[in-house]
C-alpha cells in the first residue's frame, strides 16, 4: 500500500466515524425518487428545512432496487444514523424485520403502521382534508358534477376519494362524483399522459372541478384542467402555483412537517402511533395569492366551520380503510 492510499484511507475513516458520532438523521426515499413534485418531494422539503435551520447534514438515498430497502436501513443504522426516516407503505414489511435488530436506533415511517417499540408510525387523516376540498369543489361547481382522479388503486387512494365524495354530498346532496383510478400498478403514480386523458373523459361527462390524488400523474390532470378552462385541486404539496387562477386549492398533507418533527426530535424522538389530521395541523387546504380570487368568502367560512367541527370531533368523516366501504361513492 502506498503512502497516498494510506492517507486517503485514514481520511475516509475519520470522515465516517465523525459522521457516526454526530448521530445525524438519515432519509430514505421510495423508488419514485425525491423530485416527484408531490409525496417524496414534500419529505425532501421537510429535510431541507431541518438542515437549513440546524446546519446538520442529512444522509439521504433514493432507492434503485427492492433489495436496497433492507440494505439502506441496515447500513444507515450500522453507521449510527438516528433517527432514520422513510417514505411510503412499501417499507412496512422490511422495517418490521429490521427494527428489532437495532433497539437503540429510532425509525420513522410515513403512511404505514409498524408496531415496534423503536418505530414512529406517521399516518395522515387524508379523508378529512379530502372532505374539505370536496366541499369547496361542490360549491365551486356550476354543473353539479365533480371529478376525482386517483393514482394507483389501493385502499389509501380510495380513502381520499371517499372523503372527497362525502364533502361534495355534504354541500350538495344531488351532486354526482365521477371517480377514476389511473392504474393498478406503481406506474400509475407517474403517468401524466393518462391523467390528462382521464381529465378529458371526465370533462365530457360534465365535471368542472377535478381533484387529483395521483402523485406525478396529477401534473397531467392539472395541466389539462387548466387548458380546458375548468378548475382542479392539487394534492400533498401546495400545487396552487402551478396554474395560477386555475387551481381551486390543494389538499395539504404535511409530510414535510412529519419529517421535520422527526428529525428535530433527533435520537429522543417519541415512538408509537402518530396520527396527523386536521386537528393538529397535519392536514389542511391551501390558500394563497394564486387561488384567492377563486375562493369566495362564503366558501371559506363554510369550509373553516367544517374544519373546526372535524378538529373538535363534532363531525366525523368516514374512513374507507376502516371497513373498506364508502357511504358516498361506489368504486
Q: Is 90 in the site for another protein (CB under 8 A)?
A: yes
Q: Is 71 in the site for another protein (CB under 8 A)?
A: yes
Classify residue 270 as exposed, middle or buried by CB count within 10 Å of its CB (0-12, 13-18, 19+): exposed
Q: Is 325 in the site for another protein (CB under 8 A)?
A: no
127-156 mask for another protein (x: CB under 8 A)? ---------------------------xxx
Q: What sign has the CA pseudo-torsion 86, 216, 65, 15?
A: negative
Q: Is 10 in the site for another protein (CB under 8 A)?
A: no
Q: Tell me which residue of 225, 224, 251, 257 sits closest to 238, measured CA to CA.
A: 251
Q: Which residues contact 63 (CB under 8 A, 6 or more apart)?
A: 28, 29, 30, 31, 69, 72
Can you tell me which of 54, 56, 59, 295 binds another protein, judged by CB under 8 A? 59
Q: Is 324 in the site for another protein (CB under 8 A)?
A: yes
What is the DSSP code (8-state) at residue 210?
E
Q: Can you point out the beta strands (E) in 129-267?
A: 145-152, 176-183, 209-213, 231-236, 247-253
Q: Which three cell numbers stand for residue 202?
A: 371526465
Only one of the segments 9-17, 204-212, 221-229, 279-287 lies at the binding site for another protein (rule: CB under 8 A); that segment is 9-17
Q: How far is the CB of 129 from another protein (least distance, A)?
A: 19
Q: Is 318 in the site for another protein (CB under 8 A)?
A: no
Can you tell me which of 6, 10, 101, 292 binds another protein, judged by CB under 8 A? 101
Q: Which residues pair with 63 in a beta bridge?
A: none
Can you tell me which of 66, 115, 305, 314 binds another protein, judged by CB under 8 A? 66
What H or E segment, with its residue span, contains residue 246? none
Only one of the segments 58-66, 206-214, 258-266, 276-284 lies at the binding site for another protein (rule: CB under 8 A); that segment is 58-66
**Residue 177 near residue 148, CB atoms below 8 Å:** yes
- DSSP, collapsed to helix, strand or coil, labels residue 62 as strand
Can you tell me which of 184, 205, 301, 312 binds another protein, judged by CB under 8 A? 184
What is the DSSP code (8-state) at residue 317?
P
The Cβ of residue 142 has, within 10 Å, a number of other Cβ atoms equal to 9
Q: How far is the CB of 153 from another protein (least distance, A)?
A: 8
Q: How far is the CB of 90 from another protein (least distance, A)?
A: 6
Q: How far is the CB of 247 from another protein (least distance, A)?
A: 28
Only one of the segments 7-15, 114-122, 165-173, 308-316 lies at the binding site for another protein (rule: CB under 8 A); that segment is 7-15
Instruction: Please report how many Cα atoms fall inside a 13 Å half-sphere around the Cα of residue 135, on the Cβ side.
Output: 21
Only one of the segments 67-75, 199-207, 215-223, 256-264 lies at the binding site for another protein (rule: CB under 8 A); that segment is 67-75
Only one of the segments 73-81, 201-209, 246-254, 289-297 lies at the binding site for another protein (rule: CB under 8 A); that segment is 73-81
16-55 mask for another protein (x: CB under 8 A)? x----------------x----------------------
Q: Which three cell numbers stand for residue 329?
A: 361513492
Cα-Cα-Cα-Cα dihedral of 20, 23, 25, 29, to 10°? 30
Binding site for another protein (CB under 8 A): 5, 8-9, 12, 16, 33, 59, 61-62, 64-68, 70-72, 74-76, 89-90, 93, 98, 101, 154-156, 184-186, 324
Amino acid at each position: 500500500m502506498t503512502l497516498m492510499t494510506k492517507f486517503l484511507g485514514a481520511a475516509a475513516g475519520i470522515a465516517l466515524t465523525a459522521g457516526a458520532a454526530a448521530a445525524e438523521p438519515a432519509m430514505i426515499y421510495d423508488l419514485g425518487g425525491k423530485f416527484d413534485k408531490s409525496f417524496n418531494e414534500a419529505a425532501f422539503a421537510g429535510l431541507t428545512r431541518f438542515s437549513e435551520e440546524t446546519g446538520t447534514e442529512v444522509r439521504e438515498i433514493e432507492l434503485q432496487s427492492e433489495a436496497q430497502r433492507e440494505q439502506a436501513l441496515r447500513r444507515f443504522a450500522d453507521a449510527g444514523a438516528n433517527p432514520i426516516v422513510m417514505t411510503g407503505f412499501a417499507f412496512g414489511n422490511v422495517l418490521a424485520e429490521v427494527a428489532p435488530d437495532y433497539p437503540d436506533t429510532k425509525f420513522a415511517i410515513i403512511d404505514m403502521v409498524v408496531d415496534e417499540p423503536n418505530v414512529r408510525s406517521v399516518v395522515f387523516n387524508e379523508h378529512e382534508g379530502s372532505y374539505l376540498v370536496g366541499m369547496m369543489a361542490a360549491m365551486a361547481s356550476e354543473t353539479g358534477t365533480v371529478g376525482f382522479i386517483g393514482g394507483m388503486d389501493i385502499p389509501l387512494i380510495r380513502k381520499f376519494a371517499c372523503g372527497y365524495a362525502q364533502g361534495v354530498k355534504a354541500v350538495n346532496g344531488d351532486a354526482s362524483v365521477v371517480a377514476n383510478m389511473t392504474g393498478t400498478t406503481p406506474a400509475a403514480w407517474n403517468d401524466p399522459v393518462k391523467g390528462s386523458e382521464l381529465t378529458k373523459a371526465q370533462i365530457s361527462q360534465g365535471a368542472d372541478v377535478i381533484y387529483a390524488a395521483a402523485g406525478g400523474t396529477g401534473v397531467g390532470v392539472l395541466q389539462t384542467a387548466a387548458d380546458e378552462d375548468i378548475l382542479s385541486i392539487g394534492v400533498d404539496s401546495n400545487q396552487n402555483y402551478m396554474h395560477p387562477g386555475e387551481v381551486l386549492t390543494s389538499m395539504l398533507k404535511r409530510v414535510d412537517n412529519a419529517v421535520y418533527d422527526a428529525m428535530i426530535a433527533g435520537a429522543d424522538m417519541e415512538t408509537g402511533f402518530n396520527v396527523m389530521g386536521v386537528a393538529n395541523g397535519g392536514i389542511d387546504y391551501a390558500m394563497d395569492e394564486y387561488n384567492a380570487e377563486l375562493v369566495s368568502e362564503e366558501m371559506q367560512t363554510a369550509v373553516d366551520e367544517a374544519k373546526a367541527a372535524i378538529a373538535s370531533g363534532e363531525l366525523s368523516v368516514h374512513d374507507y380503510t376502516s371497513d373498506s366501504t364508502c357511504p358516498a361513492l361506489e368504486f
